[in-house]
Amino acid sequence: MTDIASHHRPLLPRAHRRGIKLPYLGLLPAWLIMGFALILPIFIVGAVSVATRGAYGGFDWGFDLTGYRQIVFNEGWTGEMEFTAQYLIIIFRTILLAAITTILCLILAVPVAYWIASQPGHRKSILVFLVTLPFWMSMILRVYAWMIILGKGGPLPRFLGLFGAPEEMTLMYNDGATLAAMVYTYIPLMVLPVFASIEKLDGTLIEAARDLYGNRWVTLRRVILPLTAPGIASGAILVFVPALGAVLEPILMGGGKQMMMGSLIQLQFGGGRNWPFGAAIAVTLLTVVMLVLIAIAIRSARREIKP
């Protein structure tokens, strides 16, 4: 009976009153796990990057910029500072390879996304599914597949052998091999957002461009590309950010010599055991990522303001 009695109170205010507290309870686990396993640890990385290196690996708390100084200077036997370019080259290579990966993905993705968008409904959803599918397969296996293709005796060196390339040729262990694996692993992340924005494109605008005697290329450059800019921007973020942090591609395809920031960090916390230096590289990588995200956010904000 009490149950029924309680229902005589108006429903909406009750729902409203309970609705204010419940959402915060619902958000609590998410904040807890992200705070504990993500946000707090990232601040700790910042602290470790200015700590001193421990005698037996690890670190001792303190304030010491050795980790950052090591990026640019090598300390000689007598304590003098010598300029060293090796880590700057790694940082430069990381940004360059990530940028080339993004551009190659873009060049491939725009025509493919445009073609998929022009297909009839049912076939369209199957094609989108086929683009998505490789993304859900193991990253390490997708890189491994390229080790087979480019490796000694693999399909590609053999094919080039038909044109007189040397028998024992390998296409592995260089920046080109790293790049091939990176484009392959990240391309689905570019096709999907570009497709989504092409699909929203207003077809009458393309027809209008044609009526005004714009040829195909003018239409592409002046109408289609500007209107799909938001999709291109989000695809660029989705590819560029993980490409900056690539670990597996430089380790497996670059052969350990052609390092990127991701594999350098991995090395410092795996075998190298110089945590403050590794943390300093990690903070540098994070800074580059943040700068990219902020730059793209500012650009797209400006585009929205412009008529």
Residues numbered 216 to 255 that lie near another protein (CB under 8 A) are 216, 219-220, 241-242, 244-245, 247-248, 252
Q: Is 274 exposed, middle or buried (0-12, 13-18, 19+ CB in 10 A)?
A: buried
Question: By C-beta, is 48 or 236 nearer to another protein?
Answer: 48
Are the C-beta atoms of residues 190 and 235 closer than 8 Å to each other?
Answer: yes
| Contacting residues for 110 by C-beta, under 8 A, at least 6 apart | 194, 225, 228, 232
Helical pair 86-117 and 229-244, crossing angle rounded to 10 deg: 140
- CA distances (Å), origin 30, targets 23, 33, 42, 61, 141: 12, 5, 17, 30, 31
Question: By C-beta, is 92 or 115 nearer to another protein?
Answer: 115
| Contacting residues for 231 by C-beta, under 8 A, at least 6 apart | 193, 194, 195, 196, 197, 198
Applying CB under 8 A, does 162 fall inside the site for another protein? no
Selected from 90, 97, 104, 149, the binder of another protein by CB under 8 A is 149
Quote the least distance from Cβ 63 to another protein, whole Å: 17
> Alpha-carbon distance 278 to 274, whole Å?
6
| Beta bridge mates, 98 | none
Q: Site for another protein (CB under 8 A): how many residues?
A: 93
Quote the least distance from Cβ 133 to another protein, whole Å: 6
> Alpha-carbon distance 234 to 97, whole Å?
19
Selected from 71, 84, 114, 175, the binder of another protein by CB under 8 A is 114
Question: By C-beta, is 100 or 206 nearer to another protein?
Answer: 206
Q: Of 278-297, which residues contact another protein (CB under 8 A)? A: 278-279, 282, 285-286, 289, 293
Applying CB under 8 A, does 23 fall inside the site for another protein? yes
Applying CB under 8 A, does 73 fall inside the site for another protein? no
Applying CB under 8 A, does 19 fall inside the site for another protein? yes
Selected from 207, 221, 226, 294, the binder of another protein by CB under 8 A is 207
| Contacting residues for 239 by C-beta, under 8 A, at least 6 apart | 101, 102, 105, 186, 187, 189, 190
Q: Of 32-71, which residues contact another protein (CB under 8 A)? A: 33-34, 36-42, 44-45, 48, 58
Q: Of 166-205, which residues contact another protein (CB under 8 A)? A: 184, 187, 203
Selected from 96, 133, 291, 298, the binder of another protein by CB under 8 A is 133
Judged by DSSP in three states, 64 sits in: coil
